[in-house]
């Protein structure tokens, strides 16, 4: 008896441990809350798990319905079962064979707030009819926070731009419709644009547009606007005023300094050239005056030599000429006349005179230029 009781207890324990596997436990993961822009679109991330191996999509059927009313279906493969308000507005983006049950709703309306839940059914491959295996995840439903107006984008940029240096502005917008990205555009300035899309989890996505340009002085106090256009033609924009700071430049110091130094150098060179030209002209002028009129010393010397250069014509041998050196006791006849030569002297009597008489009989004159004349001062 005790042995049977132990066997029974062991079987119950084993059944309790293995019950989730054999009973086929299914689980779903759905985002609980999302923002939905009216007239735009929204995508609800959804995934599910099930025991056993992967099942093909042909064996599975996904359905989205209201939480409290299973018959109010907003999506089904059989479009005849979809409520009229949701026909052609809902579709399954994921593949059930990959455990993806993501739902997209376009042309969102005010009454599309939910909550909406996911249900999965197994079907027979022969006639595609559902079986009794149906799993509805009423505890994993999504509700929408309806947005009547498009949210404004966010601008991220440095407070001041520097002239001549690259300037970057980032425009970003958060949305819940990755199947139709918002379009971001720029006005007021053109440049290099780069776009990026990020999944920030829980059904929220961020679209970025990065504008890079080189500001100029004319861009100062200009307005730059980023406009976001959502699916469904709703738009929003954000603007800011650009302040451009002039690049630090020392040209206002360097240029006047260089001009002043250059002017001083040129002026100095001109002064040197003018001084050299004046000295050369002065020398030429002096040389010209010397050639035209000798100086006083040269003139006196030439005059003295000319005065003392005399030509004496010799008289006949019978006659005697007294040059002023006749002895005191010498007498002269009445018929003879003595002439005393006169030698002009500018200051005093000459120091000495040496006369050399040419005794050659054939000579008719004596040239005192061949004599050594002293007395020049």
Q: Is residue 277 part of a domain?
A: no
- 106 pLDDT above the threshold of 90: yes
Question: Are 340 and 326 in contact, with CB atoms under 8 Å apart?
Answer: no
Question: Are 122 and 133 in contact, with CB atoms under 8 Å apart?
Answer: yes
Instruction: Give the strand pairing for 183-187 and 222-229.
Output: antiparallel
Q: Is residue 352 part of a domain?
A: no
DSSP letter at 86 equals G
Residue with the larger pLDDT of the pair 308 and 78: 78
In which domain, by residue range, is 191 found? 154-245
Pick the last residue of a domain from 97, 118, 147.
147
Average pLDDT of the chain, as a whole number? 75
Token code pair at residue 166: 């690259």
Token code pair at residue 185: 């555009």
109: phi then psi, degrees, rounded to nearest 5: -120, 170
Q: Are 177 and 135 in the same domain?
A: no
N residues, the chain:
377
Q: Is residue 258 part of a domain?
A: no
pLDDT tens-place string over residues 34-84: 999 999 999 999 998 877 777 787 788 899 999 888 889 999 988 889 999
Pick the last residue of a domain from 118, 147, 176.
147
Give the integer Cα–Cα distance in Å for 375 and 377. 6
Q: How many domains does the chain have?
A: 2
Residue with the larger pLDDT of the pair 111 and 24: 111
Q: What is the mean pLDDT of residues 252-272?
A: 84
Q: Is residue 47 part of a domain?
A: yes
Give the integer Cα–Cα distance in Å for 245 and 303. 90
DSSP letter at 368 equals G
Token code pair at residue 111: 């009454």
Pick the last residue of a domain from 113, 131, 147.
147
The residue with tokens 């106090």 is: 221
Q: Are 51 and 140 in the same domain?
A: yes
Comparing C-alpha atoms, which of 239, 190, 244, 233 is closest to residue 213?
A: 190
Give the integer Cα–Cα distance in Å for 137 and 49. 12
Q: pLDDT band at residue 3, thresholds of 50, 70 and 90? A: low
Report CA-CA distances (Å) from 114 to 35, 44, 140: 12, 12, 12
80 beta partners: none
Q: pLDDT band at residue 234, thresholds of 50, 70 and 90? A: very high
Q: Is residue 319 part of a domain?
A: no
CATH number reported for the structural domain that contains residue 217 in this entry:
2.60.40.10
The residue with tokens 């004159």 is: 365
Q: Are 164 and 142 in the same domain?
A: no
Token code pair at residue 136: 């509805």
What are the CB-based long-range contacts (under 8 Å, 24+) for 250-259?
none
Q: What is the mean pLDDT of residues 170-178?
A: 94
């Amino acid at each position: 008896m005790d042995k049977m009781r132990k066997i029974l207890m062991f079987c119950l324990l084993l059944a309790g441990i293995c019950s989730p596997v054999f009973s086929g436990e299914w689980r779903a993961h759905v985002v609980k809350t999302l923002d939905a822009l009216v007239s735009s679109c929204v995508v609800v991330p959804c995934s599910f798990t099930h025991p056993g191996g992967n099942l093909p999509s042909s064996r599975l059927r996904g359905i989205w319905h209201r939480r409290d009313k299973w018959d109010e279906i907003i999506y089904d493969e059989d479009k005849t079962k979809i409520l009229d308000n949701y026909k052609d507005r809902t579709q399954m983006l994921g593949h059930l064979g990959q455990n993806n049950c993501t739902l997209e709703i376009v042309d969102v309306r005010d009454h599309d707030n939910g909550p909406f839940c996911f249900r999965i059914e197994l079907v027979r491959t022969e006639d595609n009819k559902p079986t009794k295996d149906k799993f509805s995840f009423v505890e994993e439903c999504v509700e929408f926070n309806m947005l009547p107006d498009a949210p404004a984008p966010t601008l991220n940029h440095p407070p001041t731009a520097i002239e001549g240096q690259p300037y970057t502005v980032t425009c970003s917008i958060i949305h819940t419709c990755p199947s139709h990205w918002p379009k971001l555009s720029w006005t007021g300035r053109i440049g290099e644009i780069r776009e990026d899309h990020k999944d920030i989890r829980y059904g929220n996505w961020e679209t970025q547009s990065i504008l890079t340009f080189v500001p100029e002085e004319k861009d100062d106090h200009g307005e730059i606007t980023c406009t976001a256009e959502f699916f469904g033609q709703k738009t929003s924009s954000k603007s800011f005023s650009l302040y451009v700071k002039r690049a630090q430049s020392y040209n206002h110091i360097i240029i006047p300094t260089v001009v002043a130094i250059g002017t001083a150098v040129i002026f100095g060179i001109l002064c040197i050239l003018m001084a050299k030209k004046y000295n050369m002209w002065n020398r030429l002028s002096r040389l010209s005056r010397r050639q035209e009129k000798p100086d006083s010393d040269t003139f006196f010397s030439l005059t003295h030599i000319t005065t003392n250069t005399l030509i004496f014509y010799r008289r006949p041998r019978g006659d005697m000429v007294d040059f002023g050196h006749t002895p005191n006791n010498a007498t002269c006849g009445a018929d003879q006349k003595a002439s005393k030569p006169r030698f002009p002297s500018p200051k005093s009597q000459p120091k000495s005179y040496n006369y050399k008489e040419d005794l050659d009989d054939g000579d008719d004159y004596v040239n005192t230029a061949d004599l050594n004349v002293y007395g020049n001062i």
